[in-house]
Amino acid sequence: MMDLGYEATPPPSAGKDWVNFWNFVDRAPPLETESVPRDILVVGAGIAGIAVALALSKELTPFVPDLRINVYERHDILSTSGGAINLTPVAQRHLDRLGVLEELDKLGPESGTDVDAIELFSSRSGRSLGAINFTDEKGNGFGGYKGRRVMRIILSLALLKVVERTKNVNVVFGKKLVRGKETKDKAMLYFQDGTTATGDLVLGCDGVHSNVRTQWVSPESPSEYTGISFVQTMIDSKDVKAPVHFRSTSMNISRHGSLLASYCDRDHTQIFIAAIVQFREELLSHYKIEPGQDWRRTAAIKDALCQEMRDRFGRSGLPAIRDMVNKADDWMLYPVWQVRPGGRWYRNRVILLGDAAHAMPPRDESAAYALDDAILFSRILAKHRYEPLPVAFKAYEDLRRGTVNAAFQVSRRMWEKNRDLGFLEGRFKEWTMPMQVRNAREAREQAWGFDATKVQLPGPGDSSSSLYSSEKEFL
Ligand SMILES: Cc1cc2nc3c(=O)[nH]c(=O)nc-3n(C[C@H](O)[C@H](O)[C@H](O)COP(=O)(O)OP(=O)(O)OC[C@H]3O[C@@H](n4cnc5c(N)ncnc54)[C@H](O)[C@@H]3O)c2cc1C
């Protein structure tokens, strides 16, 4: 489902013969080209890191034929942890622009399930409390895109498939960044294995606990625990004997937290279950499962989480939830961390993107913010390619800061609702939820039309700065 709408922005060569392409591209005088970054170093191969590498390849290749983008990832191989992620219509649109949906769809039933709506239920009574719809009244997605829930590892595989066919992007695994430094002309990365890398520009896409942020750009902005954790697991659908009350995804709300239950593959053979619950910070270390840990300790942690989930949701008024929670046994705890708004995002040759800059409590939209960052930053850098990097950094921050701060505040307010509540507070939450969902509908649906590839960039000359439409030529 490659969206041809993005053809709207013509490449500089549009209508011209590809053989003579380089004669037509918008080239600056040699003196000015000195500032165009050629060696770009990305730290972290998550959604933001891979997306920005792909987006920069599209935007800069026509101007920098010898462009090299290296992505450094601390893991030796792709991480299998993290369960399933929900992609909003915005996230899907942006992944499509980058060629990732095409690869995802090739992965067969594992490529995820379409999500028409997240249906909301009272876990206590089973009553429907409304729905967050990813389709309009006619059942069509926004701009052609619905939601999708997919295992994180599968999404990462699709991202890497696109990297494989992008000639100037390379991912290096087993490279944990410990610190970085910049000189007048270059930036240097220092890895745990004693090696280093040097480049013109560094993009810190290393997630909420970012070393690029804490050891370099903004040491005064540590991550902080939100007080809420996900406790999640998977279960085979065939093991759930009670009738399932949702089409693809449900959020089952109680005064002891909310339980997300969602299919995550096209054939609906697997259900991803995630409880979003209040969890005290001092308890986190007791529930941490680490490689090489004594098996008895691991088993004790899993038993304790199992019991905790049964206490919270095992007597739900929804038979399928009771069934799932009482059968599931392989729960894992994922604490949710955030980075408070207001911290510094860049220095002279380094900038933070995605969760490294603005991790917020997830509300199914954070991946979309990481993708927005990647596409907007790449477009802005291409536009200011002959100017010193801080000019592009500032233009990006000016465009992005307000949106991200506002999203953080909304996320914070939403997360407060997952804290444990007293009896009356719990009932009040149930009564008011349908109205709140209805009231927020218009704003939500407006947000799902957002397209980072089409947003008008401030300043002159925007109309020709984006080169996505020429993507096929550069892959
Ligand atoms: C429990 C949970 C559930 C969520 N569910 C959703 C959801 O359903 N929908 C949604 O849109 N968002 C969701 N989010 C948020 C979403 O996962 C993040 O916003 C998104 O992954 C951010 O992408 P990123 O690339 O910035 O960071 P990450 O995905 O964290 O990627 C960072 C990468 O950097 C690597 N790295 C870290 N440190 C170093 C280092 N020192 N050196 C080298 N590499 C390093 C990491 O290994 C990782 O590969 C959820 C978050 C949590 C915690």
pLDDT grade for 418, boundaries at 50, 70 and 90: low
CATH domain 39-449 topology: FAD/NAD(P)-binding domain (3.50.50)
Q: Which of 240, 354, 256 is nearest to 311 (CA)?
A: 256
Residues 369 and 175: their CA atoms lie apart, in Å, by 25
DSSP per residue, 353-419:
-THHHH----SS-HHHHHHHHHHHHHHHHHHTTTS-HHHHHHHHHHHHHHHHHHHHHHHHHHHHTTS
Q: Which of 41, 206, 337 to probe ligand 1 with, by most ligand atoms within 8 A of CB?
A: 206
Residue nearest to atom 3 of ligand 1 (CA): 362
Ligand 1 atom nearest to 229, measured from its CA: 1
CA-nearest residue for atom 5, ligand 1, is 85
Residue 448, pLDDT score: 80
What residues does ligand 1 touch, defined as CB less than 6 Å away?
43-49, 72-75, 85-86, 175-177, 205-207, 211, 230, 334, 336, 354-356, 362, 364-368, 370
pLDDT (0 to 100) of residue 440: 79
Å from CA of 207 to ligand 1 middle: 5
- Look at residue 462 in the predicted model and tell me its pLDDT: 55
- Which atom of ligand 1 is nearest the CA belonging to 88? 11
- Specify the residue for token string 């950094």: 393
**The whole model's pTM is what?**
0.89
- 366-398 pLDDT, tens digit per residue, is 899 999 999 999 999 999 999 999 999 999 999
Q: How confident is the model at residue 16 (pLDDT cuts 50, 70, 90)?
A: very low
Please choose from 72, 74, 369, 404 the residue to mutate so as to test ligand 1's pocket, defined by most ligand atoms within 8 A of CB.
74
Strands 270-278, 257-263: pairing is antiparallel
Q: Give the tokens for residue 353.
A: 């993107």
